[in-house]
Amino acid sequence: MGESAGPQRAGTKSAQLRAYLLGLIEEQLRPHDKMPTERELAETFGVTRLTVRRALDQLGYEGRVYRTQGAGTFVSEPRIAKSVELTSFTDDMRARGLMPGSQSTRIVEVTAGAEVGAQLGISPRDAVAHIYRVRTADGEPMCLENTYIPASLAPDLARRPLEGSLYQTLVENYGLRIDKAEQSIHATVLDGEMAQALGVPEFSPAFKVSRVAYDARSRRIEYAESVYRADRYSYDFVIYRTPKGTK
């Protein structure tokens, strides 16, 4: 019996279509390569363009493709999977074979204010080093960082050139080593200023990560707010079932 034309996969036509598209993305095409058109895919698989559009929409939601109006659908850059381990941005990028970097770095000494003071457990009138950075991987903006370090723990940090890992600087110059951290992650969208800094459209989805870090003496040595591009980042968790679980 002769084989029929077109990609052949087990399952429904929708499943065949998704498997084919994933194969293109993972094995044949490179980031920013153009995907086949909705019409081409509909004819190949014998489905409606609505079915194709839904499949592409799902891949877009997963961050695997993106659309440009009037131009078509293209393969996205792969997302960077971030675990909940306590690592620096520099370590994360190097572990993935990417070159970490920073743009628009600003370091100033300011008064903590109510919110930062509360997070660090210090007076709103106390001084902190405020570090603003656009963090990059292979030169591409990935996240915005606003970090606050108590000036009492790192007296001249605001006057020190910051290159590479902040955590390494804290260890080598002030003996401050982060031992644990409390962290929260929220979904958000980018306003115009943040979107411009990250090189993406306004209202693009993002993750906002807030973290208070402690040293081994339980001193709060860092408060950080970071905003990560959702199209390039994902957070991975390992979840354990409790012994008392019944379902």
Single residue among 75, 107, 124 that ends a domain in this structure? 75
Whichever domain contains 231, its CATH number is 3.40.1410.10
Q: Count CA atoms within 13 Å of residue 76 on its CB side.
A: 21
Same domain, yes or no: 71 and 132: no
CA separation for the pair 129, 159 (Å, rounded)? 9
Same domain, yes or no: 69 and 132: no
CA separation for the pair 152, 168 (Å, rounded)? 18
Please give the tally of structural domains in the chain. Answer: 2
Whether residue 72 contacts residue 101, with contact meaning beta carbons closer than 8 Å, is answered with no
Does pLDDT of 82 surpass 80?
no
Q: Does a structural domain hold residue 1?
A: no
At residue 10 the predicted structure's pLDDT band, cuts being 50, 70 and 90, is very low
Quick: pLDDT tens for 142-151.
999 999 999 9
Residue 75 corresponds to which amino acid? V
Quick: pLDDT tens for 96-119.
788 888 888 899 999 999 999 999
Same domain, yes or no: 96 and 160: yes
Q: Does a structural domain hold residue 245?
A: no
Percent of the chain predicted with pLDDT > 70: 87
Same domain, yes or no: 222 and 138: yes
Phi, psi of 6 (to 5 degrees): 95, 165
Mean pLDDT value across residues 182-201: 93
Same domain, yes or no: 151 and 136: yes
